[in-house]
Structure 1
């Protein structure tokens, strides 16, 4: 067992110590490491946004052949048995996991010290990355320039977290682009809805289209009126494909923006 596990618990656990503890727990319980452990290890070894390990880190999705190939390559290039042990644990995890699809709430997964429950405030309100992990690529609250970060935080305070999702979507490279993006926010923000279909239903009412259709129903035979209705699911599908960008919150509701 790694000596780190025999030391008194430090006030702040490093990622390596958290991984060591998770591997030791998994070994003693005769199981694979958990989702959080897999995400932490994958975050240390991915090769950038185009890599399969990056997809695992960001969404929980597993492209099994490619992930295994990247783990094997990293294992071959690892300079210590200690690092290889971490990669072997990750390899066992991906082979054992039944579903390879993206995992809802995956961005919340991060190892925490024993007996320290994860709190809601431990996650970035925009990208949902754990405070001990790097922000997701493009997260405006992960901006390294202190002046730009201060301006982002001011906008979030004034307009709500939706503006952070908007800034992550449109991006910015400097203060001028940041101001332009903030100024565009209200023109593009549609609101917070249970689903795009719920927005479509609201849109039909607010635009007056539902009222117009209701008037047309009066000219139909009574037994046919119930069949004259908008295809809200189809409209929502078209919105999602062509005109609306959505960001899900922790409850599965959506922040909606026009593209």
Structure 2
């Protein structure tokens, strides 16, 4: 699919990678608008096509007392407001078939979580909304296997599919990115690298996922060098107080420096 087919997506002819970025979860209106405003300023300056990311609920938590959201409709309305106020597309993840149509009324891209990407009913429900469907590669799946998830979207009458690699399980508590899979998945759909979730350290005894945010730049650089179509990352003005996945988020203050470096690498790659 062409990026120009995504509503409100700017800078699609800049030659840059596109960016999906925002907080892990919508914690409130002020924080969402604050993050979006900062990222929009940076991406406009660098001419990076930008999609705001925020989960309206978190259904896949390790512990029952973990933060799951502020209420579905409240969070979805905030996502819609971000899209309208900054005239940018918005993506959120869905976990149940009933979420698809509900979320589609507020956002432009529906994301299928990695653990759920083989759930046929969920993928088909997302596809039938005719929104862009962003398929997270399962941590347990090969790059080649993602062709079947993409085919489910297309066989449902929707040509608008993306794939996002978020790493592969390495043992019980670590993730690795196999960059050989990027060109494989690009044969099926535009492919994005999720740099923050690829640095997660799941299955901690505390029930709280860890991470290695100090390696965000390393993984991002490698992804751009390999030629990914997009970069996905979660960012927060203070990851230490984020209510979800703070351990592997990028501090918002560091985003412009990182993206500037990635744009420079992309320009170099485009010469070849």
TM-score grouping bracket, smaller chain normalisation: under 0.3
Q: Please identify which structure carries the higher helix content.
A: 1
Q: Please identify which structure carries the higher strand content.
A: 2
**What's the TM-score once normalised by structure 1's chain length?**
0.23
Structure of higher CA gyration radius: 1
**What's the TM-score once normalised by structure 2's chain length?**
0.22
Q: Which has the higher contact order (CA 8 A, sep 6+)?
A: 2
